[in-house]
Each structure stands twice: as structure tokens, then as C-alpha cells.
Amino acid sequence: MKILIKNAHIIDPLQGIDGIGDILVEEGKIKGIEQKSRRAEEQKKTPPQPPLDKGGIKRGVDSELRTIDATGLYVLPGLIDMHTHLREPGYEYKETIKTGTAAAVKGGFTTVCAMPNTNPVNDNSSVTDFIIRKAIQEGACAVYPIGAITKGQKGEELAEMGIMYAEGCVAFSDDGNPVMNSLIMRRALEYSRAFKVPIISHCEDTNLSEGGVMNEGLLSLTLGLKGIPSEAEEIMICRDLALAELTGGKLHIAHVSTEGSVRIIREAKKRGINITAETCPHYFSITENTVEGYNTNAKVNPPLRTQKDVDAIKQGLKDGTIDVIATDHAPHHRDEKLREFDHAPSGISGLETALGLSLNLVHEDVLTMRQLVEKMAVNPANILGLNKETLKVGSDADVVIVDVNKEYKVEAEGFISKGKNTPFEGLVLKGMPVITICKGKIYE
Amino acid sequence: MKLSSKDLLGIKELTKDEIILILDTASGFKGVLKRNIKKVPALRGKTAVNLFFEPSTRTRTSFELAEKRLSLDVLNLSVTTSSVVKGESLIDTALNVQALGADFMVIRHSSSGAAHLLSKNVNASVINAGDGINEHPTQALLDAFTIKEKIGKIEGLKIAIVGDILHSRVAKSNIYLLTKFGAEVRLIGPPTLVPQELEKLGVKVFHDMDSGLDGVNVVMALRIQMERQGKGFFPSTLEYSKNWGLTSERLFKADKDAIVMHPGPINRGVEVASDVADGPRSVILEQVTNGLAVRMAVMYLLAGVRE
């Protein structure tokens, strides 16, 4: 099966492509890419270039050829979500590898990284192996497991990182449970250097955030809900930065949600500390006000913050302080969210709204399309060492075709994910993936 | 005039006019309570279920008696929150109660927003009898009723609320009500229990009793929950009472006609000294009586909304 994508606006930051062209896919790989015209402003600067890949694309009738006319559409390297909760094994009622990856593909993702807070926890190579096998059998897209930093995510004893790394884990995280013991975190950052893998830190001082269910402020007081101050996140980021500096470990800060965190990370990067950071669409799209009426679909950890935090997150994305947009896709069962706010679990089902929400940043001129591709494909691949970020000839044919102008209403009932828990119900988004191709397989 | 909602979830959700309607209606019921025969047939044939997920004596008995005075059939369900966590969800419990034919559900729950959750899922009138650290609207209504009865008005009064404001649903409901009526509300207590942020609601925060009580017309003392001790909110009840306990000496700072209120139950000698609680300015037991009239008024008016 061959696929010819014609007249697309191709963006591939790695090859420096940002213009109209064609792509040929054969046997799951990119077989050819041909740029016909650059963006108008660049054309003025440089003379027309010869085709990038002469003769790569054979024209003519071919029964095995599927031609996609992508006129007016963008074609990007498949998106990579480095923060996904697939819930399998153990919580199949919330999500499975099958449904989670299908949701990913619908959202334009061709690679997801599965967080280890499953049951049992992915803290040993048997679980890692199970996830990888299951993903090969049932997954719609590529799945890379993230192993636990500590056994049982208890923060006490290092998990067998080396063995899990050999089995296929691409990073380590106790996501959901911060490693509160500074000595253990130091060891994790030190030890992981042997395998050059990142430690992904869920930054939360759980003493400071104890019992908290939303952002701390006037709204938490008037709703009578226990607040989590921004400082619970910022204090831990400061600690982890200090430990990263001490150890030279590869630190990646998960789901940045506050203005202070952005400032702290910006300063650390200026000082040359080897860190990267991610945020999630909900942290630059909505505020704590969404919680009003005790809306459990807006309960997430870290909590939704305020407008000044939203603005700072956008600025952090724009100036490169924040490297990655990840979903923190956290599906839950309907019954679990239909409860008292205190008792409902935290999390947002994010795979199917992430691209639409992130494209708002392009519409608002916060990011260019190229920067968006960097945040959602190139940078995650680089941080995790995946060769998945480009449309270069010979790469896996992981491609997403995006209509950036198509408007649609978010309807959770239509989600492929088992998790219908979204605070964006009814919101009109502009821009959606129309076709996702994973290793040459077309999903539309 | 009618109330606009079938439920009473909080003072936040009420307009000033609705509050006045409730207080005026309560005056009528207070008259009933003074009669020889204290029962009216107003809601005969209807059923009230008191869903108490938290231990409560005074609020539950007050509601129960108010319901009986209105000729309602009454069902009391005391459920410990822990058994709910293990088993049946709040919504399922409520739907079962509704299937029994409940017209009113009075709910007391340890989670803020529990009454709101119920109101979205049942047709019965939901009355919030205290949800977590959010609101306790009937307490604020009975407090307002008592203040109006004793002083004649709320507007322009200086009213101090002393104690654990952070964890007090009574304080929250009172703040919303009293500011709606144009009172000057002062919150007094240690900084750990009186967040400065609350000033955005139009109240004044004090950490010193003498300056906070200066010239006030009403002092509301709140119960200090013993379990806050050892959690870092204050070092000991002894230290708390030395700094923020309401004593007769401190009461001299207040207006000479000031009244002393307390939602109960009292920790004598901790937040309020015995001689103050039992003294001539105390209206604490009158609050209890007025609670009946106010709760009757609320149920009577809510029944009118559903008619």
C-alpha cells in the first residue's frame, strides 16, 4: 500500500521544510518528500530550490496507491504525547491500551508514552513487557512506556530502571506521587545518568498541598474547597532544579501550571541547567473558574489556576521556557466523576482535544505552526530519544494531516476514549486532525 | 413573592429580597411556636428526609421538629461518610430516598458542594444543612433573624465573627448574608484561621481581639474544633483562649448593648467564657428557638416554589 499526499502544506522543522509539497509513503515508511514551493516570504529571499527528492514519487495509475489531496491542509510529523495515562493494566474500566491509542490517533498523535501508575505499577520489566506487547497487538499507534522511579511509586526504593530501560522504558516518573524524599530523588537523577534517560518529575510538595482539591485563592474559600497553593508546585521545582544541578541528571518537569514555575524554569535555563518542561492544554486554556458549580470534570492535579498563570504559561511556551505540550490524558469512569468534589478523582481526558486547544495558540499568534510542531512532536522525541520527529525519507510514516480552519464542538459522548471527563464540553474549537497515519496505516 | 429556586443551597445563591421574605415568613412561624398548639397543617401529606452524613444533634433535631411542626412526615437517615465511601454513592442514596417519595431532602455532609450535587440529580427540594466548609445557610438565616429581633436591623451594624473562619461554614454563610445587608463585618482570629484573602468579600480582618471588638454591636463566637489542634493552626487551646477567647473583660470593648451569639455547641472556657455565655448579653438559646421558625419558613417557601 502506497499513500501519496498531494499539495499539502508540509511542516518539518528538522528538515527545515515549511511549504507546499507532496509526500509518498510506502511500506510504512516515508518514501519521498518533495517541496514544490516555500512560503511566500521565503520565496522572496531565496531562489526556488530543486525538488528535494527527485524521482521518489512515481506518477501514474497504481491500484495500490491511495492519493490524498491535501490542498489547504497542513501535513505534520505525527504528534507525540509524552504524558498519557493508558490505565492498562489494572484500570481497564477507565481506559485500555486499545481505546487510549485509538483516541490518540483521533487526536493526531502517532506516539504516546504510558505513565506507570497502573495496577500493578510499571515498576518492573514484566509490566513494561506487557504494555509493549499489548500495544503491538491492539494499539493504534506507537506506545512507549515510562517506568516508575521507585518501587510501587512509594518514593522509598529505586525501581530497576536499567532492566526496564532495556525492556523499552524511555523515561522514569512517579507521576501522581512526587518523590518527597530528596535523597531518593537525588539518587534517581544520579542513577538514571547511566542510561541517559530523563526523570519526569510531578512537582508537588504533598505536605503543603495536603487535602487540597483546587487552586488556593478566593474562589477556593468561597466554594469551601481546600486549596493547593502555587507554591506546592514551585517549591518542588526549586528542589528538583537544585538536585539536577547537583547530579547532572536529565530532569523534565511535568505539567507546569503556575506563573512562578515558568519564572523559575526560565531563570534555571538561563543559568544553563539541563532541564526541560511541559505544560498541558488545560493550563493555557481555562482557569479555576471552571470549577464553579463543583464541576468535577475541572478537577485535575495540578489544579487549574488563574488568568495570570494562563498568560504566563503562554509566554513560557512562546519564549521556549516550556518545551513541550503534553496532554496528561487522565481518563476516568463517569461514575467516579459523578461524586462529591472532594471524592472525585483528578484528571482530564485530553487526547482528543489537545490539538484543537493548542491550535488556539497559533490562531492567537502565541506560537507559529512550526513552533507548535516542535512542542508536540520534535521536542518530546528529542527529550525521550525517539526517532519519531521528522518526515525524512526512511522514517516511520507517522503523519498527521490537519485542517486548521475546521470548526467543531467538543462533545464528550463522541470521544473514542473511555474517559468522557472533559471540562471543554460544548466548546467550539478551530482546527482538527482529519487523517492520521501511523507507520503507513491510515486512520480517518 | 416566591423564592426562585426549589433548593436552598447557600446564602450566596439568594438575593436580599429572598432573604427578607424568609425572615418575614419566619416571624409568622415564630408566632405559631408561641401558641399552645404549636403545629400547623401547612405541609401535611408531604415527606421530608433528613440525610445526615455527619454527626449532628442540634441541626438535625431542629430540622426534625420544624418538619413536624409543619405536619410533614419525617424520615431520618444517618449515614456515616465512610460507609458511603465504601459503597453506595451519594446520588444513589438520594435516588433511593426520592423513590420513597421524598419532597424535601435536608442534607448535612462533610464535602463542600454535596447539596449542589444532590440538587442537580433529584426533583425534591434540597436544603443544605451544612456542606463541608462551604455554607450552612439556615444558621445564617436564624442568626439574621435573631439580630433583627434583638437590634431591629442589620444594616450599618458592626458585627464581629471570632474564631476559625477558614473551616467554618457558619461564618461563610454569615459573611455573605451580612454583607448583602450592608453590615460592617469583622473577622477576628489567628492568621492561620482567618485568611487575608477574605477581605476581597468586603469584610475586615483582625488578628487582635481588642481592636476587632472595638464598638461592635454583635459578637459571634465560633466553636473551635479540637481536631485543629496539632495541625499547626494554633499551638494549644490554652493559647487560643488567651488570645481569642471571648471573656467579659474583652466584651467591654464592644458597644454597651452588644449581643453575644454562638452557633453551638460551645467549648466553655475556650472560645467563650462561661460568664459571657450565660450572661445577660448572650442570645445563644434564643438562636436555637429562632432556628425552628426559620427552618419552618424555608420549607414552607420551598414547597411554594414546587407547587
pLDDT for the residue numbered A45: 52
pLDDT for the residue numbered A224: 97
Task: Give chain A positions within 8 Å (CB) of B170.
Answer: none
Contact B91 A218 (CB under 8 A): no
Residue of B nearest to A218 (CA): B197
pLDDT for B75 beyond 70? yes
pLDDT for the residue numbered A191: 98
pLDDT for the residue numbered B83: 55
Contact A340 B90 (CB under 8 A): yes
Say if A223 is an interface residue toward chain B (CB within 8 Å): yes
pLDDT for B20 beyond 90? yes
pTM comes to: 0.93
pLDDT for the residue numbered B283: 97
Contact A340 B113 (CB under 8 A): yes
- Residue B37 DSSP label: S
Residue of A nearest to B196 (CA): A218
- Residues of A recognised as catalytic: 328
Interval B122-139 mean pLDDT: 97
Instruction: Write the residue in A218, A223, A339 that is nearest to B90 by C-beta.
Output: A339
Task: Give chain B positions within 8 Å (CB) of A338.
Answer: 89, 91
d(CA A164, CA A169): 6
CA distance B36 to chain A (A): 42
Task: Give chain A positions within 8 Å (CB) of B228.
Answer: none
Interval B5-22 mean pLDDT: 98
Q: Which of B133, B166, B169, B227 to mutate to test the interface with A (most CBs of A within 10 A)?
A: B133
- CATH pick for B16-136+288-306 out of 3.10.310.40, 3.40.50.1370, 3.30.1540.10, 3.40.50.300: 3.40.50.1370
CA distance B90 to chain A (A): 7
List, for chain A, all residue ranges whose pLDDT scores fall below the cut of 70: 38-63
| Long-range contacts of the stretch A155-159 (C-beta < 8 A, 24+) | A155/A179, A155/A180, A155/A181, A155/A184, A156/A181, A156/A184, A157/A184, A158/A184, A158/A187, A158/A188, A158/A191, A159/A123, A159/A124
B180 torsion bin: left (phi>0), alpha (psi -120 to 50), beta (else): alpha
B86 band by pLDDT with thresholds 50, 70 and 90:
low
Say if A45 is an interface residue toward chain B (CB within 8 Å): no
- Name the residue with cell 457558619: B170
- Residue B10 DSSP label: -
| The two domains B16-136+288-306 and B137-285 share their CATH topology (first three levels equal) | yes
Q: Which residues pair with A69 in a beta bridge?
A: A6
Domain boundaries, chain A: 78-384
Contact B201 A217 (CB under 8 A): no
What is the per-residue pLDDT across B243-272, written as a single tens digit (0 to 9) for each? 999 999 999 999 999 999 999 999 999 999
Task: Give chain B positions within 8 Å (CB) of A340.
Answer: 90, 109, 111, 113-114, 117
Q: Which secondary structure element, helix H or strand E, spans residue B212, and what is its range?
A: helix B209-213
ipTM of predicted assembly, 2 dp:
0.93
d(CA B193, CA B199): 14
Closest CA to B77 of B1, B34, B129: B129
CA distance A306 to chain B (A): 15
Interval B173-199 mean pLDDT: 97
Task: Give chain B positions within 8 Å (CB) of A221.
Answer: 166, 172, 195, 197-198
Q: Is the Cβ–Cβ distance between A193 and A248 less than 8 Å?
A: yes
Q: Residue B17 in 3-state DSSP? A: helix
* CA distances from residue A297 to A290, A308, A347, B89, B119 in whole angstroms, order as listed: 9, 22, 7, 17, 18
pLDDT for the residue numbered B79: 78
CA distance A226 to chain B (A): 9
Say if A207 is an interface residue toward chain B (CB within 8 Å): no
Task: Give chain B positions within 8 Å (CB) of A341.
Answer: 111-113, 117
Task: Give chain A positions within 8 Å (CB) of B131.
Answer: 224
Q: Which fold is adopted by the domain A78-384?
A: TIM Barrel (3.20.20)
Contact B201 A223 (CB under 8 A): no
Contact A226 B91 (CB under 8 A): no
Residue type for position B105: M
Q: Residue A328 in 3-state DSSP? A: coil
Contact B89 A339 (CB under 8 A): yes
Task: Give chain B positions within 8 Å (CB) of A217.
Answer: 197
Contact A221 B109 (CB under 8 A): no
Interval B179-204 mean pLDDT: 97
Report residue A188 CA to chain centroid gap. 23
A:282-321 residues touching chain B, CB 8 A cutoff: 293-294
Say if A58 is an interface residue toward chain B (CB within 8 Å): no
Closest CA to B91 of A345, A336, A418, A425: A336
Q: Is the Cβ–Cβ distance between A336 and A344 less than 8 Å?
A: yes
Instruction: Write the residue in B110, B135, B197 that is nearest to A218 by C-beta.
Output: B197
CATH superfamily of B137-285: Aspartate/ornithine carbamoyltransferase (3.40.50.1370)
Pseudo-torsion of CA B265, B198, A216, B128, nearest 10°? 40
